[in-house]
Chain A
Amino acid sequence: MMKRKGKYKKVMERGTERLLSASGAVTGIVILFIVIFLFREGIGLFRSPDVEKGYALYLNTKNPVEQLTPYEIKQIFDSEITSWDQLGGPNKAIRPYRVDDIFKEYPEEEWGDHYELLSGKLEEVIKSDPNIIAFLPQRYAPPVGADIKELPAKNITIAGFFGGKEWLPTATPSPLFGALPLISGTLLVSFLAILIAVPLSLGVAIFLSELATKKTRQVLKPVIELLAGIPSVVYGFFGLVVLSPAIQKIFHLPVGETALTGGMILAIMAMPTIISVAEDALDNTPRALKEASLALGATKWQTICKVVFPYASSGIVAAMVLGIGRAIGETMAVLMVTGNAAVMPVTPFESVRTIPATIAAELGEAPAGGAHYQALFLLGCILFLITTMTTVIAEFVSKK
């Protein structure tokens, strides 16, 4: 009896250990999964055609133009380019043509019961006009041959994504995925946030660890920690109702939702984190070092500058890096106060759109698996890489 019980116990013991190790492995697996899913969807963007899926562009064979960039296609259909000579063709006006136009030209009876007659009609239209460019669904496409050519669809390029200055993901026929405005918007807002938050936070951290009385410290530390826990959407709401009208008034702007507003809200949100990490670092300076410096006749400020700061520098840098990481990844507050204009920012007083805000604002309307969806995942990958880098840097620095 005793023996059996002992055996049972051993099996239990071993089973539990296995179970525990399995759950220990789960975090690793989760990270791996996130990486795989994000990148698989994201990289897929570079295998997507640069015109809408299922559609193609058709030209008359008399037209010498053989290739168009997505940006040129967009300009043609937005009537920003109106003549073929701007694209290396003859000096003739471009006639952009969409499938809707055929429905206007011919009465309903001539389309055929299942639209089977459309293709023939479209063939006639394109044949008759050398200056036409037709954007058509491939199911109704006219036969490509002696009179009609299809523009070869290229894939979206890496250079086009990272170097493109236009973010127009829902434009037809050619959506534009230029992430540069989003990347620079994110960097601008985060930079402003760090610019505001770091000096203030360091000041508060020094005050808390070196100057404040024990009682003040006991009151302030929990308050600051508490503020780190307040949901970002509440900060965003505050920014929306108080800060952005104030900024609009102070700087006489047409709208108050600017990069500066976003930077300020982010600074407020990042400060509690930076303060508590930096304060911990300052606090860890050995008392003996400080007292030795004071005993040599240095003032308290000299001691802080020359002894405490160098000793705590790695912790302070780690605090800053963590703050940057938080600022770059923050979504809701920024979405609510930056105005969300996907244009290249020039001054802090303009609306910008950050990477996380773009994902949050557009994912809902992007059809799953489409190029837009993939582009948003690629943005997620960028975000993931940036924050991973900041975590690794923070860890590396604080270990030193």
Chain B
Amino acid sequence: MDRKIKQRIAFTTFRIFSVSVVLMLVSILGFIVFNGAKAINWTFLTASPTEGMTAGGIFPAIVGTFYLVVGSMLFALPLGITAAIYTVEYGGETRIIRIMRIMTNNLAGVPSVVFGLFGMTLFVNKMGFGSSLLAGSLTLALLALPLIIRTTEEALKAVPDSYRTGSLALGATKLTTIRRVVLPAAFPNILTGIILSVGRVSGETAPILFTVAAYFLPHLPDSIFDQAMALPYHLYVLATSGTDMEATRPMAYGTALVLIFIVLLMNALVSLLRNSLKNKNSNE
């Protein structure tokens, strides 16, 4: 009977752990949502900050984050997807591909602040872009690159080989096969990876700290060489360096909620995609 008691103790502990971890995580979410919801209204989403960040809204930060997401994807998507196509469809298992895979995995593990350091020397100083949307987008693109490569690779590998051989047997060239057969089949999974990396890019603070982010700008950026405000940096500023902490708190809660909302939205999109894919597959 002794071992039964042991089992009961162990399992009860795990149950308690699980409940407390989930409760903890959910209560963090709940706390932000509950407090943030009070701050969010139409003005908050469409106005600039006023009165030393204690009133007004976060519109410039939303726009800035949007620009950064678009900008970084503009660089990272073509590069990442083509790189993945090469490694999966053309590369085989050569030594170069293996080294590249290790490099990609390595890049994925590099802390975001190191990307910030790198972006600052290369894009801001050496290339002379200054603190700008361009420099920030490039830095974030590097951060998103390994994520996109990995998810695209997995998506391509998930396409059954019979699709490829079938197409080739019909006389299609390799390029046509990739374009007409492999890519359409892998598309939903590739899209999943893209959405996840959009979520990641929109929430990163450390890489944009020195490459683009501005404390406050009275107007929206007009060119890619302008600085911009961004949501995560705005939250950091509101949380740590306001003159009147109590008065800025509601704004900070609101900003945090918008950030969480973006992540929730991206995750919802992903699970929607997955479900529709499942249905499609089961119909076939």
- A and B associate: yes
Nearest-CB distance from A390 to chain B (Å)? 7
Q: B10 contacts A301, CB within 8 Å?
A: yes
Residues of A contacting B266 in the complex (Cβ-Cβ under 8 angstroms) = 229
Q: A229 contacts B200, CB within 8 Å?
A: yes
Complex: A41 Cα to B145 Cα, angstroms: 24
* Known contacts A208-B18, A271-B25, A380-B117; 6 further A-B pairs (Cβ under 8 A): A207-B18, A229-B203, A237-B32, A325-B109, A331-B111, A391-B108
Q: Which one, B38-46, B118-126, B218-226, B276-284, is touching chain A?
A: B118-126
Among A20, A38, A233, the residue within 8 A (CB) of B117 is: A38
Q: B209 contacts A360, CB within 8 Å?
A: yes
Residues of B contacting A222 in the complex (Cβ-Cβ under 8 angstroms) = 267, 271
Check: A106 CB closer than 8 A to any chain B CB: no
Q: A27 contacts B146, CB within 8 Å?
A: yes
Q: B205 contacts A302, CB within 8 Å?
A: no
Given contacts A26-B79, A236-B239, contact A229 B267 (CB under 8 A): yes
User: Closest B-chain residue to A29, C-beta based?
Assistant: B103
List B residues 85-127 near A (Cβ within 8 Å). 85-87, 89-91, 97, 99-100, 102-118, 120-122, 125
Q: B239 contacts A388, CB within 8 Å?
A: no
Given contacts A16-B175, A20-B85, contact A34 B110 (CB under 8 A): yes
List B residues 43-98 near A (Cβ within 8 Å). 78-79, 82-83, 85-87, 89-91, 97
Q: Which of A34, A212, A304, A325 gathers the greatest number of chain B CB atoms within 10 Å? A: A34
Given contacts A9-B173, A17-B90, contact A234 B17 (CB under 8 A): no
Q: Which of A207, A211, A395 gathers the greatest number of chain B CB atoms within 10 Å? A: A207
Q: A233 contacts B259, CB within 8 Å?
A: yes
Complex: A395 Cα to B91 Cα, angstroms: 21
Residues of B contacting A313 in the complex (Cβ-Cβ under 8 angstroms) = none
Given contacts A23-B79, A24-B86, A207-B15, contact A231 B22 (CB under 8 A): no
Q: A356 contacts B10, CB within 8 Å?
A: no
Interface size class of A (residues with CB under 8 A): 35 or more
Q: B252 contacts A237, CB within 8 Å?
A: yes
Q: Which one, B1-9, B161-169, B185-193, is touching chain A?
A: B1-9
Nearest-CB distance from A356 to chain B (Å)? 5
Q: A363 contacts B117, CB within 8 Å?
A: yes
* A311-350 near B? 1/0 per residue, CB < 8 Å: 0000000000010010011111000100000000000000
Complex: A154 Cα to B22 Cα, angstroms: 56
Complex: A377 Cα to B90 Cα, angstroms: 37
Q: How many residues of B contact A (CB 8 A)?
A: 88
Among B24, B104, B205, the residue within 8 A (CB) of A231 is: B205
Among A25, A28, A234, A356, the residue within 8 A (CB) of B113 is: A356
* A374-400 near B? 1/0 per residue, CB < 8 Å: 001100100110011011100100000
User: Closest B-chain residue to A13, C-beta based?
Assistant: B175
Check: B212 CB closer than 8 A to any chain A CB: no
Check: A226 CB closer than 8 A to any chain B CB: yes
Check: A12 CB closer than 8 A to any chain B CB: yes
Residues of A contacting B108 in the complex (Cβ-Cβ under 8 angstroms) = 391
Among B25, B102, B105, B249, the residue within 8 A (CB) of A241 is: B249
User: Closest B-chain residue to A226, C-beta based?
Assistant: B267
Q: A268 contacts B24, CB within 8 Å?
A: yes
Check: A224 CB closer than 8 A to any chain B CB: yes
Q: A233 contacts B109, CB within 8 Å?
A: no
User: Closest A-chain residue to B17, C-beta based?
Assistant: A203
Q: A24 contacts B87, CB within 8 Å?
A: yes
Q: B122 contacts A33, CB within 8 Å?
A: yes
Complex: A234 Cα to B205 Cα, angstroms: 10
Check: B174 CB closer than 8 A to any chain A CB: yes
Q: B3 contacts A299, CB within 8 Å?
A: yes
Q: B11 contacts A377, CB within 8 Å?
A: no
Among A26, A231, A368, the residue within 8 A (CB) of B204 is: A231
Residues of B contacting A356 in the complex (Cβ-Cβ under 8 angstroms) = 111, 113, 206
Nearest-CB distance from B111 to chain A (Å)? 3
Among A227, A368, A391, the residue within 8 A (CB) of B25 is: A227
Q: A233 contacts B235, CB within 8 Å?
A: yes
Residues of B contacting A31 in the complex (Cβ-Cβ under 8 angstroms) = 103, 106-107
Complex: A301 Cα to B5 Cα, angstroms: 10
Q: A360 contacts B113, CB within 8 Å?
A: yes
